[in-house]
Chains A and B, each alone.
Chain A
Amino acid sequence: MAGTASALLGDAQPWLQWGWIDRHLGEIGSAIGQHIELTLIAVGIGLAISLPLGYVAWRWKRWEKPLYGITGALFTVPSLALFAFLIPVTGLGRTTAEIGLVSYTLLILVRNIVAGLDSVPAEVRDAARGLGYGAGRQLVFVDLPLAAPTIIAGVRLAVVTTIGLVTVASLVGAGGGLGTLISLGQQNNFRTEVVLGAVLSVVLAAAFDVALVLVERAVTPWSRRGARG
């Protein structure tokens, strides 16, 4: 590609070549698309796993410590090592990327789900019981809505973290996304691709963060302050 030419340009190379960007909008768009898809799948699966785990940790406190221990240990494993570790098992590709990405969301999500449920005032739960709410109905219509701000704060954190980690996954050749731009740019010593990949992943993270703040406002119309994230 632009590799040899830009290598010759050396230090005179501009940070962004708009002409190149213009000619490669399709590639850039599909990298963004892949990045979003990998992120949403990871956080979606992460939530599907974390909600029951968080409920268990909250309802039966003796499970809290072991669950934090396991998810915390997963969170501590360096991302490159985790993705690399999976390569012999699941190969180079999407599955490897997603398993790694999901495992990093668990600690963040479980902690925030437990903190959210803990923040539901005891009087409110008493009142719900007094109105004849069963355990299931109370969870869905009372506990979860009141816990929503804290849970969404966790989702925001998980999304932002995952967007950063997707770039590591593509480094080991798993998944694709904006990291592919970064590694191609690095290999070809082509600044535009490197900068574009980096800037776009930060922009993507910021955009998702703002979008989730709006979601939070929408699902908590009573707009309780105390969204601790």
Chain B
Amino acid sequence: MWHFLGELASWYATGSHWHGSSGVPVLLWATVKIAAESVLIALAVALPVGVGLGHSGRGGFLAINVTNVGRALPAIAVLVIGVQVLGIGEPPALATLVVLSLPPVLTNAYIGVRQVDPEVTDAARGMGMTGWQVLRRVELPTALPLIAAGVRTAAVQAVATVTLAAYVSYSCLGSLILEGISVGDHVEIVAGSLLVVALALLTELALAWLQRAVTPAGIRVASRLTWSEA
């Protein structure tokens, strides 16, 4: 045990693990970059759709069930099928991440807008607001915490999925784990895993903070509803 911890410490202390194209900083950046890209693309696509459906009250069945289907799709399966279509490396990785990031964003945006108290939107209409104004000034601010929760789910999931993309030759933190497994190097496996776990937990904490920050003071409730409500 202590021996292993010592080896682990010396893995982190080894300079060559921090330099060059397979050094930790490069791999970390590759992981963060593609995860962020996929969440941003998912936001650009799914947010307008989810908010639009929620505002009009149509397509609820689709918006809710897309998340359940997304959950049933094994990330590995999407990745390897992506490889068959797009080749190895970054394209299938990004495509997979986007496909898996869409559902939580879409569903949460839909539920977020849908759950706005009808009395509140009625009152807003009674005050003479147009549909667009109701959306912008009432529904969106109220839905913001749930939308942020969807982004948080998508982002944490994206970080987890990028590591799998190492399997289709996208060089990232997951590559350390797979390399360790293939050569039977337990120290490298654990060193890589710890970095991945730290990144996932940091992502979770940062976005939880963001979620709290965008929640209007009047409606501070537990708002991470993706898995219990969807």
Contacts and interface: CB of A to CB of B under 8 A. Distances in A.
Interface in B148-200: 156, 159-161, 163-164, 166-168, 174, 177, 180-181, 186, 189-190, 192-194, 196-197, 200
Interface stretch (B18-26, B76-84, B134-142): B76-84
Interface in A164-187: 164-165, 167-168, 171-173, 179, 182-183, 185-186
> Interface size for chain B: under 10, 10 to 19, 20 to 34, or 35 or more residues?
35 or more
Interface in A38-87: 73, 76-82, 84-85, 87
Contacts of B194: 81, 85
Interface in B187-230: 189-190, 192-194, 196-197, 200-201, 204, 227-229
Contact of B164 (A168, A185, A194, A209): A168
B170 to A, nearest CB: 13
B76 A228 contact: no
A103 interface: no
Interface in B50-101: 68, 71-78, 80-81, 83-84
A215 interface: no
Nearest to B181: A172
A5 interface: no
Contacts of A179: 74, 76
B222 to A, nearest CB: 10
B29 interface: no
A70 to B, nearest CB: 13
B228 A167 contact: no
Interface of A: 73, 76-82, 84-85, 87-88, 108, 111-112, 115, 157, 160-161, 163-165, 167-168, 171-173, 179, 182-183, 185-186, 191, 194-195, 197-198, 201-202, 205-206, 209, 228-229
11 contacts: A76-B201, A78-B160, A80-B196, A84-B190, A85-B190, A87-B186, A88-B190, A167-B77, A173-B181, A179-B76, A198-B78
The 7 A-B residue pairs with the shortest CB-CB distance in the complex, in nearest-first order: A198-B77, A78-B160, A205-B72, A88-B186, A81-B193, A81-B196, A164-B74
Interface of B: 4, 68, 71-78, 80-81, 83-84, 156, 159-161, 163-164, 166-168, 174, 177, 180-181, 186, 189-190, 192-194, 196-197, 200-201, 204, 227-229
